[in-house]
Every structure is written in C-alpha cells, then in structure tokens.
Amino acid sequence: MQRPLILVSNDDGVTSKGIRHLVECMKELGEVVVVAPNSPQSGMGHAITIGNTLRLDKTDIFGEDVTAYESSGTPADCVKLAKHHVLKDRTPDLIVSGINHGSNTSISVLYSGTMSAAIEGAIEGYPSIGFSLCDYAQDAEFVHALDYVKAIAKQVLDKGLPKHTTLNVNFPPKRNEQIKGVKICRQARAKWEEEFDQRFDPNGRRYFWMAGNFVNFDKGEDNDEWAIANNYVSIVPCQFDLTAHHTISMLNDEWDIKI
C-alpha cells in the first residue's frame, strides 16, 4: 500500500527544534516532504510575497529519506510553492505545520505564521493541522507532546476533516504531572494589550520596541486558554471564512444607506 504523503512546514525556520521533532513523528505515518522558511517567520500571519523574488533550495538537513526545501518566503508562500512546484501533480494527504516554539492559542491564531501555513493548506482543500507548544523558554521540552502529535495526525489521516477546516493544536508546557488528555475547544476571548517603548539608537534616531501583556477575558471552561492552564491539549477547529454571518440580517434589517 502507498504510504500517505505528508507536507511539513512551519514558521520558526527549517533548522528549528520543533520542525525536526515534527518530521520524525510524521515519518512514522507516511512519506514526508518539507518546505519551510530558511529563517524565522514568527508573527508573519498570512503574508505572501508579492513583487519580490522567492528562493527555493534543496536541503539534506533531515537526511536522505526526506525530500526537503528551504524557502526565502513566508509560511503561506512555502505551502503555495509546495503545491505548485515541489509536489506538482501529487496531492498531499495531510499538511502539518510546527511544532511552534510558543503558544498559538486564542487571538494568536490570526498572527501566527505556523497556523497560516495550515490555513493555506485548508484553503487548497487539504486536511491540515498546526501544532504549537505553549512554552517560550529557550530550552523548552517538546518530547512530552510527541505521542499526541502522532495520535492527532493519525486521526486526521484515518477519518479526515471537513473541507476547508484546519485544527489549531496547542500543547501545555512540560510539568511535573503528565498531560491530562485532550479537549476540543473554542477559541478563548483574549487579546494582547501592547505597549510601545520609545527608544533611540546610537545615532539619535527614534525607534519603538513592542512589549505588553496577554490578557484573558474569558471565564469559561470550554476554551483553549482554560485547557492549557489545566494541563490539557487544546484542539480548536478553525476556518478561514471570517464573515460574521449573524450580523448580515441585522445590517439588512436596521441599516438604511442612501446616497
């Protein structure tokens, strides 16, 4: 039997620890092809490269049994290049992105390059998953999440996903107790409250450095922030249709725009 074809990408770059773990997990499930950025692309969201060159170079960083490329583009660019050039007439059975070094819960899904690679896969109609570890420490441990990475990916390979849907999967940091299990969640109502620190470079030119805090306004126990805080893996099904469908009838009924 032909093994499933799995495309791997990320936003931390082709040399990151997270993508190496993800490749090793996916090799147990199918044939792996990697197209990932050649440098960190965190916070790029769903940016694509327009009006600039895109580089795509083969790399043997994952060994001889993995076809891999590094690109100068964004995570979304990488998935597009994989579809139109690297895989050509082949159709991936699964697209996975990550494992991101840092959280992509709640509103971060909009800023995340990791999730944008997965969402780009969903736009093309491929089953897709974005994996993230909610730990920003330089020596963050990924190993405790890997069995869940394989189990979740296998579920999608075996059972599929609704078309144009992707999964945003976040893992809690390694703690003294084992992960309690998996929660299928909604996105928490939370946001970043930014501050911009004004500074000056050695030439006296002003610049700004973004800082701030993440604030969770959500008191529910059915969201991804609650799941991570309580040592569960969170899985949030996502779609790229941002239409506020419930507002359409309100605008039609209440607005009266006349010029």
Please, what's the b/e burial string for 194-208 (b: 16 or more CB within 10 A of its CB; e: otherwise)? Answer: eeeeeeeeeeeeeee
DSSP string over 166-203? EEEEEEPPP-SSPP--EEE-BPPSEEEEEEEEEEE-TT
11 appears as a binding residue in the annotation: yes
Q: Tell me the per-residue pLDDT of 139-185, one tens digit each, with 9 for 90 and over.
A: 999 999 999 999 999 999 999 999 999 999 999 999 999 999 999 99
Which token pair is 112?
């995340």
Give the domains, in start order, of the chain with CATH numbers. 5-189+219-254 (3.40.1210.10)
**Average pLDDT estimate for 8-32:** 97
Give the HSE-up count for residue 32: Cα atoms under 13 Å, Cβ half-sphere. 26
Kindly state the average pLDDT of the residues 82-99. Answer: 96
As a whole-number percent, the residues of the chain with pLDDT over 90 amount to 92
Q: Is the pLDDT of residue 3 over 90?
A: yes
The overall average pLDDT reported for the chain is 95
Do the beta carbons of residue 204 and residue 131 sit within 8 Å?
A: no
Q: How confident is the model over 97-145, as pLDDT tens digits?
A: 999 999 999 999 999 999 999 999 999 999 999 999 999 999 999 999 9
Give the pTM.
0.93
Reference 225, options 70, 95, 105; nearest CA is 105
Q: Is 12 annotated among the ligand-binding residues?
A: yes
Residue-level pLDDT at 1: 66
**What is the enclosing helix (H) or strand (E) of 56?**
strand 56-59
100 is in an annotated binding site: yes
Question: Is 116 marked as a binding-site residue?
Answer: no
Residues whose CB is less than 8 angstroms from the CB of residue 199 and which lie 6 or more positions away in sequence, other chains included: 206, 207, 208, 209
